[in-house]
Structure 1
Amino acid sequence: MTQRYRIVVLAVLILAYTFNFLDRQILGILAGSIKKDLGLTDSQLGLMGGLAFALFYTGLGVPIAALADRWSRTWIMTGALTLWSGFTAACGFAGGFWQLFLCRMGVGVGEAGGVAPAYSLISDYFPKEQRARALAAYSFGIPIGSALGILFGGLIAATIDWRAAFIVVGLAGVALAPIFRLVVKEPPREVAAASVPATGGIRKLLAKPSFWLISLGAAASSVCGYGVAFWLPSFFERSLGMGLVDRSLFLGSMTLVGGVLGVWAGGVLGDRLGRARPAAYLLVPAVAFLLALPCFVLAVQAKSLVLAFVLFLIPTGLNLVWLGPVITAVQHLVAPSHRSTASACFLFVNNLIGLGLGTWYFGAVSDALTPIYGTEALRYAIYSGLGFYVVSASLFVLAARGLKHDWVP
């Protein structure tokens, strides 16, 4: 296959991942409107943003990835894109907490088949010396999708209402699905997947200490990363008095610029440093998280919007440096025939803890502190969660020490 076709495929995969995170993160910018319309608490919003999505997203991810190691990854991703986009549109018709909760669970069911197969596809399309950058480029879908979810969600909600925002972005994803299937072809696998039992590959992976240290380290960072990303729109509304349109433009541009720079920097550093020393794939994100912590503390204290933009821009980027290097490290813990399954096992731990706990944690702490701090409770909830970065950095450093032993060339 030509390098040009590889780039086209990567671009379409990025577009699909953009819709993945657009549909996943749009709830954050719409949280204030939904809370008022449906009479919800911060804890309920946190459950919808995290646990409702994470339950099936994590639970179905491993069996779907095992299927992807033996069947067409492109067909699985096409069906997944159609399903999660359809449930996103259905969110616009929810009349209460439980209806919206169930629709978000449906989004999680669909997205369970959207990421791990893509990691495997990219690893088969690109040679190993380009994988960290290719996986980092694929991860552009996270900041782009999050930014567009904030921007389009906020603007559509301000112009029409929050229900229309869900419906419009959901139907756009459904329209993308057939285009995805036409463009992305199933590449040859490096090793015939059917020759190695899936259960044997999973057992070998789970027996490696570095897998658990990497997964738990990523999960600890995701508690803070997902949690802060979900609640920042509400923080800017309550503590800085920003309107819906202003919040959408402010946070959307901040997420896009900071996120893209952070993801790409992680991929470049991972390829350059990890080539000679695999431990660098984990030491790079460990340093990034330790630098992000004080930046977030200063950013939350900022009173000026200009200063807040600059201070939030830096940790927004540092928060996503880990994606390319860490995902590359996970891909090299197993043989090529088990990459989808390995990615799904990693995502299971990362998202069940990080996504499932993160948004709920900040919402629950905010509810608990509201009698003391009033509208400023969310500010102190964010402070309390930044310690997860220290936990994450520590686990990555420990994993780096044993990564060479578990590495599969």
Structure 2
Amino acid sequence: MASDIPATPREGRRYRVTALVMLLLVYTFNFVDRQILGILAPTIKADLALTDTQLGLLGGLAFALLYSTLAIPLAWLADRTSRTWVITLSLAVWSAFTALCGVASNFAQLFAFRIGVGVGEAGGVAPSYAVIADTFAPDRRARALAIYSLGIPLGSAAGVMLGGYIATSIDWRTAFIVVGVAGLVLAPVFRLCVREPVRGSDACDREPVRRVFGILVRKPSFWLLAFGASASSMLGYGLAFWLPSLMQRSFGLDLIETAQFYGGVLLLGGVAGVLLGGVLGDRLGARDRRMYARVPAIAFVIAVPLFAAGILSSSVTAAFVFFLVPQALAYVWLAPVITAIQHLVPGHMRATASATFLLINNLIGLGGGSFALGALSDGLAAHYGDEALRYAMLMGLVLYLVAALLMWLASTPLRQDWVDQST
């Protein structure tokens, strides 16, 4: 089959576009399956009689537990075997478990199925980063990774809108089943379209994982970037999960109105922010590598007061405008930081280095974000009632300031830690 023929380095533009589009489509499904739980949370809460804390566990820890820890061994496997096969099988596994979420009848079953979704998605992202890095030249990687990262806002918006419309038209269970089956159909198509790229340093592919760790542990920029991203992701994932509930509780929107509101914010703001980060990363980072960390830091600081204005707003229209800009700024970090991580190790170690970064980012950010806001909302409920979630989100904004500080601190050692790569 054509897909079994290795892709040559820097193949023609048509193939590069095809490969990137397919990777983007898989990543979009990744976030459809994550975000759909957020829009369906109020309906699931009522149907299964759950608390905000339990919902937070479903949105965070249940998914992140094995998603984070399995990412490194699966990336190691991808670095030593076929990255495209690992991505394909991962897509099939997480899609099957997403469909199973539609048959859950209690918290324990839904928790177990969300763990399964996390197991599958553990093998998707880090190998995809490595495939992109091996397919695109260094001076175009930030933009290529930015296009790939569009899967986050596109998938999140699609998950919100599809989940909202299907749940309203039929029920929440059907929404899970539909998106899960769609992912299963996509898996073989992806494998047929994307070839395994030739790697820049195949002679070194057999080096053990501990060597990658040994390199990263001596680079302060890696840890500052990882923990900075974790702080931002903790709030970012928390807001992504709980904002639909806020719009229904505090703004009085129904499920369809919430899907339209938040889907629009994610689509418009998210796409703009991801692309802006890619352009700024390639242009400013080429002049001064510190900008790969400083651009995100500046974006986070600007985002805080705008998010606060949206959270405290009493007008749906004003809230949409206030949320739109900081939503874009919250995504600016993706392409610059991910590009920087790719350049902290030799080329053949990219997938494992990315998985190590994702382990920290997702275990803290994804695992703790939705749970922390949910638990804080439950704790504030006695004093603020239905407005407790609003104030929990407001308090969480300090995490963006922490992220900004860590990113800025990472900028200076980043220049010394950078590994020049011709491939």
Is the shorter-chain TM-score for this pair beyond 0.5, marking a shared fold? yes
Q: Is contact 1:78–1:177 with CA below 8 Å preserved after alignment?
A: yes
Aligned to 2:240: 229
> How many angstroms apart in 1 are the aligned matches of 2:347 and 2:205?
12
1:106 aligns with 2:116: yes
> How many angstroms apart in 1 are the aligned matches of 2:407 and 2:265?
27
1:388 aligns with 2:399: yes
> How many angstroms apart in 2 are the aligned matches of 1:131 and 1:276?
15
> How many angstroms apart in 1 are the aligned matches of 2:309 and 2:301?
14
Aligned to 2:285: 274
> How many angstroms apart in 1 are the aligned matches of 2:271 and 2:57?
28
> How many angstroms apart in 1 are the aligned matches of 2:206 and 2:374?
47
1:180 aligns with 2:205: no
> How many angstroms apart in 2 are the aligned matches of 1:202 and 1:322?
23
Q: Is contact 2:310–2:323 with CA below 8 Å preserved after alignment?
A: yes
Following TM superposition, by how much is the alpha carbon of 1:158 offset from its aligned partner in structure 2, in angstroms? 0.4
Q: Is contact 1:226–1:358 with CA below 8 Å preserved after alignment?
A: yes
- Choose from 33, 37, 46 the match for 1:36: 46
> How many angstroms apart in 2 are the aligned matches of 1:90 and 1:61?
22
1:369 aligns with 2:377: no
> How many angstroms apart in 1 are the aligned matches of 2:349 and 2:176?
35
Secondary structure in structure 2 of the residue aligned to 1:241: coil
Aligned to 2:27: 17
Aligned to 1:308: 319
> How many angstroms apart in 1 are the aligned matches of 2:206 and 2:68?
26
Return structure 1 stretches of 4+ with deviation > 6 angstroms: none
Following TM superposition, by how much is the alpha carbon of 1:301 offset from its aligned partner in structure 2, in angstroms? 1.5
Q: Is contact 2:301–2:404 with CA below 8 Å preserved after alignment?
A: yes
Write the letter of the residue equivalent to 1:15. Answer: L
Write the letter of the residue equivalent to 1:381. Answer: A
Secondary structure in structure 1 of the residue aligned to 2:229: helix
Question: Mind listing any 5+ residue stretches in structure 1 that lack a counterpart?
Answer: none
> How many angstroms apart in 2 are the aligned matches of 1:176 and 1:57?
21
Deviations 1:254-302 (A, max 9, x none): 1001000000000000000000111100000000000110000001112
Equivalent residue pairs, number: 409
Deviations 1:231-261 (A, max 9, x none): 0000000000000011111111110010000
Secondary structure in structure 1 of the residue aligned to 2:80: coil
Write the letter of the residue equivalent to 2:380. Answer: L
Aligned to 1:293: 304
Q: Is contact 1:266–1:321 with CA below 8 Å preserved after alignment?
A: yes
Deviations 1:24-45 (A, max 9, x none): 1110000000000000000000
Secondary structure in structure 1 of the residue aligned to 2:332: coil
Q: Is contact 1:217–1:395 with CA below 8 Å preserved after alignment?
A: yes
Secondary structure in structure 2 of the residue aligned to 1:186: coil
What is the TM-score when the length of structure 2 is the normalising length? 0.96
> How many angstroms apart in 2 are the aligned matches of 1:194 and 1:238?
52
> How many angstroms apart in 2 are the aligned matches of 1:36 and 1:211?
42
Following TM superposition, by how much is the alpha carbon of 1:195 offset from its aligned partner in structure 2, in angstroms? 5.0
Query: What RMSD in Å do the two structures reach over aligned CA positions?
Result: 0.7
Secondary structure in structure 2 of the residue aligned to 1:275: helix
> How many angstroms apart in 2 are the aligned matches of 1:201 and 1:318?
31
- Choose from 118, 137, 156 the match for 2:147: 137
Aligned to 2:97: 87
Write the letter of the residue equivalent to 2:113. Answer: C
Question: Mind listing any 5+ residue stretches in structure 2 that lack a counterpart?
Answer: 1-10
Following TM superposition, by how much is the alpha carbon of 1:196 offset from its aligned partner in structure 2, in angstroms? 3.4
Secondary structure in structure 1 of the residue aligned to 2:314: coil
Secondary structure in structure 1 of the residue aligned to 2:344: coil
Aligned to 2:332: 321
> How many angstroms apart in 1 are the aligned matches of 2:239 and 2:311?
11
Following TM superposition, by how much is the alpha carbon of 1:202 offset from its aligned partner in structure 2, in angstroms? 2.0
> How many angstroms apart in 1 are the aligned matches of 2:306 and 2:212?
40
